[in-house]
Structures are given as C-alpha cells and as structure tokens.
C-alpha cells in the first residue's frame, strides 16, 4: 500500500466506496490549484476511490472551517483588509477570497444535491 493510500485508508469504511459520486469528487478535485492538489493514484488502481474519498473528506472538513469563518463575515473582511494594508500582494488576497467563495459554492451545491437524494 502506498503512503498516500495509507494516509486515507482509515477515512473510508470497506464496502461504502460505491455510495458516492466520484465524478463530482474528481471534478471538484481538479479545481484545487495544482500546486496544492494531493497526489492521486491512477484511476485503474483499486486505491483510486479510497484516496479520492479521503481527499474529498479532507476538503469537506476544510470547507466547513471556511464556511464557519465566512459566517463571521465582518472578521474575515477585517483580516483581508488588514492583509491589503499590510502590503500583502493584492492579487494573492483576492485569489484566496475567490477560492474560499468557490469552495462554499461547491459545498452548497453538494448539500442541495444530497438533500434532493434523501427526499422520498
């Protein structure tokens, strides 16, 4: 088992792999900036779904944390303004904000899709 597979092996229970929308997970994975994107094994290997699920779960945790921060929007905006005043590169700060908003949009779409599937 590769190190990347071992990293995510404990996150998914055996037999649950096929209950998830891996195409959606992969499309979302591709939106992660390439320099931040975790390594993913070849799709033909048995570890692909396991690792993809682990990456998804990790990103969902990060998304929840980002959404919790956004819930306190005045504080987030104060931090961003502080970065801009502090001389941090403007484009980098705007990219960070855009990235967070994209993740929130993906999370909301995912929640809406999941909610629709659970309806009788």
Close Cβ partners of 24 (under 8 Å, ≥ 6 residues apart): 110, 113
**Is the confidence at residue 1, as pLDDT, over 70?**
no
11: buried, middle or exposed (CB in 10 Å: 19+, 13-18, 0-12)?
middle
pLDDT higher at 24 or 90? 24
Give per-residue pLDDT as tens, 82-110.
Answer: 777 776 666 777 777 777 777 777 777 77
Q: How far, in Å, CA of 73 to CA of 76, rounded?
A: 5
Query: How much is the pTM?
Result: 0.48
Q: How far, in Å, CA of 50 to CA of 57, rounded?
A: 11
Close Cβ partners of 13 (under 8 Å, ≥ 6 residues apart): none
**Averaged pLDDT for residues 5-20:** 55
The fraction of the chain above a pLDDT of 90, given in percent, is 2
The fraction of the chain above a pLDDT of 70, given in percent, is 74
Q: How many Å separate Cα 70 from the centre of its chain?
A: 15
Q: How far, in Å, CA of 63 to CA of 57, rounded?
A: 10
Q: How far, in Å, CA of 31 to CA of 102, rounded?
A: 9
Angle at which helices 48-71 and 90-118 pack, to 10 degrees?
110
């Amino acid at each position: 088992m590769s190190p990347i597979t071992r990293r995510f092996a404990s996150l998914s229970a055996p037999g649950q792999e096929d209950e998830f929308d891996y195409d959606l997970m992969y499309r979302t994975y591709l939106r992660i900036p390439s320099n931040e994107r975790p390594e993913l094994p070849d799709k033909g290997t048995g570890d692909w779904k396991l690792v993809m699920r682990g990456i998804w779960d990790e990103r969902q945790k990060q998304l929840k944390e980002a959404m919790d921060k956004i819930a306190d929007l005045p504080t987030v905006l104060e931090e961003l303004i502080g970065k801009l005043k502090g001389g941090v590169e403007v484009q980098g700060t705007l990219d960070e904000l855009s990235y967070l908003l994209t993740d929130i949009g993906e999370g909301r779409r995912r929640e809406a899709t999941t909610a629709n599937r659970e309806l009788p």
